[in-house]
């Protein structure tokens, strides 16, 4: 087989997508996600600084470096079978960066050090993009075969040279990255948020790896079809009542300040609490305070009933959401349409992440239950925990407790606050190799 450039993805007809092309796709996807008003503000808060266009370009370059380990011989040669046991690209890349000065130069480490405080954290978060940190014991075995990993591939490519080409290409694609700007520090919150954005970008961009077209337009089309942002039709929030007189809870959320962060609604069944939550969510979306709604409820049946109501209301008044409102139940994931109107690559991402208490990056979703969500939050060592982190950060969370009581509502909020304070230990360690 002839492979003119290092490969990163294989297609259904044995075609390959080059490493440079795939990393460029992911970088563009991440850049567009991060440019949305809501997520940009969340990132600014996580990095504890206002983000310039240069900062976003730097983060896009960092996102593009996520798969640099695929240039190594172990990964490249496995296209046609290899005897090397180190055939991955995550722990192997970290091992190579820890020992080889030439590779540090190839990833333009001196330049990255001008962009990021503790550049080791930045590279570690980017390379560990498969949903979990990589512990030292997983890195250590590859140190013994570094000479093999850095040898020329069966196709004649030199890994260090190709990684240098990848770095230079990405930097050239995002020229604002080289403009003067303060360094970014990857706080624990920023680590998890960026890791989640990068993982989603990788899944989304992989879906158009073999689609002809201009990459910026392909990425924008995925966001549009996913209902990620810009789905608000402009309809007034009160239209969700469909001509009915507002009930007390609904009057409250129609008047609630957009600066409010917590609201507790205590009312009997059938008193319009769901519509009250939707009213506040759509007001927040219109003000670019959030991009979506995550509705957590106590039971499976409640999630199904709520999903049907939300699907009907929101798809009527915000047609861009039709087919994109997700119901996540144990062992089942679907939308408000029998034929889901989201891209195939997004469907794969949802199925990958829908069988545990995680949020998807859809505009609206319903899921049981709050109790399992809270239990999950402290477990940041869990695979794909930062998917939850970034998705919830962009959404309004509506939590229905049962049985309804003042004590239950306050207990739910206190548990959520306690879990939130414990759930973000640093993803990246202090890695001397970088």
pLDDT digits (tens, 9 = 90+) for 102-134: 999 999 999 999 999 999 999 999 999 887 788
Give Dmax over CA atoms of the chain in angstroms: 74
Q: What is the pLDDT of residue 381?
A: 41
Lowest mean pLDDT among 111-115, 171-175, 259-263, 353-357: 353-357
Q: What is the pLDDT of residue 322?
A: 86
Lowest mean pLDDT among 207-211, 254-258, 329-333, 394-398: 329-333
Local confidence band at 86 (pLDDT 50, 70, 90 cut-offs): confident
Q: What is the pLDDT of residue 29?
A: 97
Q: What is the pLDDT of residue 241?
A: 95
Q: What is the pLDDT of residue 363?
A: 57
Mean pLDDT (whole number) for 376-384: 41
Which CB contacts under 8 angstroms, 24+ apart, belong to 417-426?
Answer: 419/374, 419/377, 419/378, 420/377, 422/377, 422/378, 423/377, 423/378, 423/380, 423/385, 423/389, 424/188, 424/189, 424/192, 424/380, 424/389, 425/188, 425/380, 426/121, 426/188, 426/191
Same topology, domains 7-226 and 237-422? Answer is no
Q: Which residue has the tokens 């020229």?
A: 175
Q: What is the pLDDT of residue 429?
A: 52
> Quick one: which of 250, 264, 254, 256 has its CA closest to 416?
264
Q: What is the pLDDT of residue 409?
A: 57
Percent of the chain with pLDDT over 70: 78
pLDDT at 404 over 70: no
pTM: 0.85
pLDDT at 372 over 50: no
pLDDT at 84 over 80: no
Lowest mean pLDDT among 84-98, 297-311, 360-374: 360-374
Q: What is the pLDDT of residue 401?
A: 65
CATH class of the domain comprising 237-422: alpha beta
pLDDT at 30 over 80: yes
Neighbours of 185 (CB within 10 A): 15
pLDDT at 294 over 70: yes
Mean pLDDT (whole number) for 85-100: 92
Q: What is the pLDDT of residue 432?
A: 43
Q: What is the pLDDT of residue 417?
A: 55
Q: What is the pLDDT of residue 133?
A: 84
Q: Which residues contact 396 (CB under 8 A, 6 or more apart)?
A: 280, 281, 284, 290, 292, 293, 294
Local confidence band at 141 (pLDDT 50, 70, 90 cut-offs): very high
pLDDT at 180 over 70: yes
Please give the Cα distance from 208 to 235 (Å, whole number). Answer: 33
Q: What is the pLDDT of residue 91?
A: 95
Residue-averaged pLDDT of the chain: 83
Q: Which two structure tokens, joined as six digits, stand for 308?
A: 């049907």
Q: Which residues contact 313 (CB under 8 A, 6 or more apart)?
A: 240, 242, 275, 278
Local confidence band at 370 (pLDDT 50, 70, 90 cut-offs): very low
CATH of region 7-226:
1.10.3210.30
Q: Which residues contact 234 (CB under 8 A, 6 or more apart)?
A: 286
Mean pLDDT (whole number) for 330-336: 70
pLDDT at 407 over 90: no
Q: What is the pLDDT of residue 346?
A: 47
Mean pLDDT (whole number) for 3-18: 90
Q: First and final CA of the chain: distance in angstroms?
A: 35
> Is residue 75 a contact partner of residue 69, using CB atoms and an 8 Å limit?
yes
Identify the H or E element spanning 387. helix 385-393
Who wins on pLDDT, 39 or 338? 39
The domains of the chain are located at 7-226, 237-422
pLDDT at 378 over 70: no
Q: What is the pLDDT of residue 379?
A: 36
């Amino acid at each position: 087989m002839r492979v003119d450039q290092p490969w990163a993805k294989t297609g259904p007809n044995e075609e390959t997508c080059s490493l440079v092309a795939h990393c460029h796709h992911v970088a563009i996807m991440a850049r567009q996600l991060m440019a949305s008003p809501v997520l940009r503000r969340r990132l600014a808060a996580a990095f504890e600084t206002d983000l310039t266009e240069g900062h976003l370009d730097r983060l896009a370059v960092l996102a593009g470096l996520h798969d640099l380990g695929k240039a190594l011989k172990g990964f490249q040669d496995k296209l046609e079978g290899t005897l090397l046991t180190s055939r991955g690209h995550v722990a192997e890349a970290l091992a190579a960066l820890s020992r080889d000065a030439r590779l540090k130069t190839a990833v333009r480490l001196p330049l990255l050090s001008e962009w990021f405080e503790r550049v080791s954290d930045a590279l570690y978060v980017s390379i560990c993009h498969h949903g979990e940190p990589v512990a030292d014991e997983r890195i250590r075995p590859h140190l013994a075969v570094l000479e093999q990993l850095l040898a020329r591939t069966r196709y004649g490519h030199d890994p260090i040279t190709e990684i240098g080409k990848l770095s230079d290409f990405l930097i050239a694609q995002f020229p604002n990255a080289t403009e003067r700007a303060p360094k970014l520090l990857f706080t624990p919150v920023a680590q998890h948020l960026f890791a989640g954005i990068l993982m989603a970008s990788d899944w989304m961009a992989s879906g158009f790896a073999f689609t002809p077209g201009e990459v910026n337009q392909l990425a924008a089309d995925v966001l549009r079809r996913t209902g990620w942002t810009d789905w608000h039709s402009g309809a007034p929030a009160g239209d969700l009542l469909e001509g009915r007189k507002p009930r007390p809870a609904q009057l409250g959320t129609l008047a609630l300040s957009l600066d409010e962060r917590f609201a507790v609604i205590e009312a009997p069944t059938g008193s319009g609490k769901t519509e009250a939550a939707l009213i506040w969510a759509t007001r927040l979306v219109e003000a670019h305070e959030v991009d979506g709604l995550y509705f957590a409820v106590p039971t499976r049946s409640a999630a199904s009933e709520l999903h049907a109501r939300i699907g009907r209301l929101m798809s009527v008044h915000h047609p861009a959401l039709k087919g994109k409102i997700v119901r996540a139940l144990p062992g089942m994931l679907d939308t408000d349409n029998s034929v889901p109107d989201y891209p195939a690559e997004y469907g794969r991402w949802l199925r990958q992440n829908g069988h545990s208490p995680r949020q998807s990056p859809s505009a609206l979703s319903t899921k049981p239950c709050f109790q399992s969500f809270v239990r999950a939050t402290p477990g940041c060592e869990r695979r794909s925990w930062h998917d939850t982190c970034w998705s919830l950060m962009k959404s309004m969370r509506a939590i229905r407790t049962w049985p309804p009581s003042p004590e239950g509502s306050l207990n739910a909020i206190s548990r959520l606050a306690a879990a939130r304070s414990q759930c973000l230990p640093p993803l990246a360690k202090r890695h001397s190799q970088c």
